[in-house]
């Protein structure tokens, strides 16, 4: 059974005869007659009572007709849905994001995208860089806001730099470390709260490497798995923390942020997506991201 069989059948019903259906559809009458006959043969029932003047539906045809109309309508909806998806008007977009580094710009970016593409369903998941890599591998997210890719991922994933985050020192409000900046070497005897390596290995290695360059290994007191927890522990005087500057966008009552001397290290923040899975919805999101690139950097860096 083909859709044309249903179209010709419903046209004969609508126009009450083969001749008028042929004229309306611009299809030869024998072709319509043959299609209806083929449909009846496949169904094993007669759909029409035929006489010289007009055709009318049999009881079986009366039952079949509304179902045929529903099938044609559903086929039309399916075709239109596919065309809308091809235009990026419908579909889904699953975003993974690194909370502290995304808070300054992501809510507004998502609002803009929803205004442009109201038919696209957006879901957001707050994930560490390691969790995002795992989610990409499982096909659970379409795009991620995260730290730089590992070398083994670069073959399968594309990325775009959004901004380069300086490092700051977070200290308790009542810390004995005063002023607006501090020498890294001065931190040798301080207890450290470090975001755990498993969640963000590049940031962890950058921070510990920076300490090593200045003659000491950090004395790690605790390794929480959320940046908010890092700041909470600093506020509770569990230690100091070297953090990306974007951590300032989190609530940080009881915490002061100091510049580091020397201030040479930056940690990149990027958007990542699979090279082989770029839907129209994702491409339109990347286009918006590119258009907003300067605003994203400005909001994130506080410039």
The predicted-structure confidence for 150-159, as pLDDT tens digits, reads as follows: 777 778 899 9
Helices 280-291 & 106-116 angle (0-180, nearest 10): 130
| pLDDT higher at 250 or 259 | 259
Q: What pLDDT is stored for residue 225 in this prediction? A: 86
- How many domains are contained in the chain? 3
Q: What pLDDT is stored for residue 241 in this prediction? A: 96
Q: Distance of CA 43 to CAs 37, 60, 62, 265, Å?
A: 10, 10, 14, 75
Q: What is the pLDDT of residues 92-106, one digit of tens each?
A: 999 999 988 999 999
Please indicate, yes or no, whether residues 81 and 128 belong to a single structural domain of this protein.
no
Q: What pLDDT is stored for residue 166 in this prediction? A: 95
Please indicate, yes or no, whether residues 195 and 173 belong to a single structural domain of this protein.
yes
Please indicate, yes or no, whether residues 277 and 198 belong to a single structural domain of this protein.
no
Centre a 10 Å sphere on the Cβ of residue 174 and count the other Cβ atoms it contains.
9
Q: Percent of the chain at pLDDT above 90?
A: 62
Question: Which of the listed residues 66, 86, 106 is the one where a domain comes to its end?
Answer: 86
pTM of the full structure:
0.71
Please indicate, yes or no, whether residues 170 and 244 belong to a single structural domain of this protein.
yes
Please indicate, yes or no, whether residues 237 and 187 belong to a single structural domain of this protein.
yes
Please indicate, yes or no, whether residues 113 and 31 belong to a single structural domain of this protein.
no
Q: What are the DSSP E strand ranges found in the chain?
A: 48-50, 55-57, 91-97, 120-126, 143-147, 157-172, 181-183, 191-193, 219-222, 241-244, 255-261, 266-274
Report d(CA 249, CA 247) in Å as an integer.
Answer: 5
What 8-state DSSP symbol labels residue 160? E
Q: What pLDDT is stored for residue 78 in this prediction? A: 82
Residue partners of 231: CB distance under 8 A and separation at least 6: 170, 241, 243, 247, 250, 251, 252, 255
Please indicate, yes or no, whether residues 136 and 56 belong to a single structural domain of this protein.
no
| pLDDT higher at 174 or 87 | 174
Please indicate, yes or no, whether residues 189 and 97 belong to a single structural domain of this protein.
no
Q: What is the pLDDT of residues 29-47, one digit of tens each?
A: 999 999 999 999 999 999 9
Segment 224-230 shows an average pLDDT of 90
Ramachandran quadrant class, 179 (left: phi over 0; alpha: psi -120 to 50; beta: rest): left
Segment 135-140 shows an average pLDDT of 93
Please indicate, yes or no, whether residues 149 and 274 belong to a single structural domain of this protein.
yes
Please indicate, yes or no, whether residues 141 and 280 belong to a single structural domain of this protein.
yes
Q: Using DSSP, state whether 203 is helix, strand or coil.
A: helix
Q: What is the pLDDT of residues 183-223, one digit of tens each?
A: 999 999 999 999 988 888 889 999 999 999 999 999 999 99
- Asked whether residue 70 carries a pLDDT value surpassing 60, the answer given is yes
CATH number where 202 lies: 3.40.190.10
Q: What is the pLDDT of residues 281-303, one digit of tens each?
A: 999 999 999 999 999 999 988 75
Q: What is the pLDDT of residues 72-92, one digit of tens each?
A: 889 888 877 777 777 766 689
Question: Which of the listed residues 86, 109, 131 is the one where a domain comes to its end?
Answer: 86
- Asked whether residue 17 carries a pLDDT value surpassing 60, the answer given is yes
Q: What pLDDT is stored for residue 199 in this prediction? A: 84
Question: Which of the listed residues 86, 103, 119 is the one where a domain comes to its end?
Answer: 86
CATH number where 44 lies: 1.10.10.10
Give the domain range for residue 190.
Answer: 166-267
């Amino acid at each position: 059974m083909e859709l044309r069989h249903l179209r010709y059948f419903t046209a004969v019903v609508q126009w009450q005869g083969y001749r008028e259906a042929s004229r309306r559809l611009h299809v030869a009458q024998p072709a319509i007659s043959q299609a209806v006959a083929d449909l009846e043969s496949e169904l094993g029932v007669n759909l029409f009572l035929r006489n010289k003047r007009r055709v009318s539906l049999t009881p079986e045809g009366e039952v079949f007709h509304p179902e045929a109309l529903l099938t044609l309508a559903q086929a039309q909806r399916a075709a239109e849905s596919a065309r809308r998806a091809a235009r990026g008007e419908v579909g889904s977009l699953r975003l993974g994001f690194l909370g502290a580094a995304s808070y300054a710009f992501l809510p507004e970016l998502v609002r803009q995208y929803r205004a442009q593409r109201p038919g696209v369903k957006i879901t957001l998941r707050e994930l560490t860089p390691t969790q995002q890599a795992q989610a990409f591998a499982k096909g659970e997210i379409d795009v991620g806001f995260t730290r730089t890719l590992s070398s083994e991922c670069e073959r399968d994933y594309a990325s775009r730099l959004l901004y380069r985050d300086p490092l700051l020192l977070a200290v308790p409000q009542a810390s004995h470390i005063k002023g607006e900046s501090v020498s890294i070497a001065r931190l040798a005897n301080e207890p450290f709260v470090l975001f755990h390596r498993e969640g963000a290995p590049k940031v962890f290695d950058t921070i510990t490497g920076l300490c090593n360059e200045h003659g000491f290994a950090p004395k790690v007191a605790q390794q929480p798995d959320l940046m908010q927890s890092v700041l909470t522990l600093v506020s509770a005087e569990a230690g100091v923390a070297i953090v990306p500057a974007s951590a300032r966008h989190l609530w940080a009552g009881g915490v002061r942020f100091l510049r580091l001397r020397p201030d040479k290290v930056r940690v990149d923040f990027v958007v990542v997506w699979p090279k082989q899975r770029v839907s129209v919805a994702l491409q339109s999101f990347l286009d918006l991201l590119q258009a907003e690139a300067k605003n994203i950097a400005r909001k994130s860096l506080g410039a």
